[in-house]
Amino acid sequence: MTWDALQSAALDALGHTRYRVQMPGQVLPEHPLVDPLLHAAGLHRDADGALALMRSLGPLDALRAPTAKRALWPRLRRLRAHGG
């Protein structure tokens, strides 16, 4: 579950802990490129857009090709500029 800003502020004010519910199939792949890609996009592992970004990239091993890298970096820069 994702909390919006108002819900987060209300829960914090009440002293409640917000938990993120991890649904089956929403686990980031164990791959050496995951963390560097998330960092380049300005995201962290538990960010809302992290899983969506990883799914949109397709097979991560394919990103090692020069043409894939050239196409990837402008996209990551846009994500970083807009806060993920």
| pLDDT average, residue stretch 63-79 | 88
What is the pTM for the complete model shown? 0.62
Domain boundaries, the chain: 5-81
What SS3 state is found at 28?
Answer: coil
Over residues 3-19, the pLDDT tens digits come to: 677 888 888 888 887 77
**Whose structure tokens read 């929403």?**
26
Q: Bigger pLDDT: 82 or 32?
A: 32
Find the radius of gyration of the CA atoms of the chain: 15
| pLDDT average, residue stretch 9-37 | 79
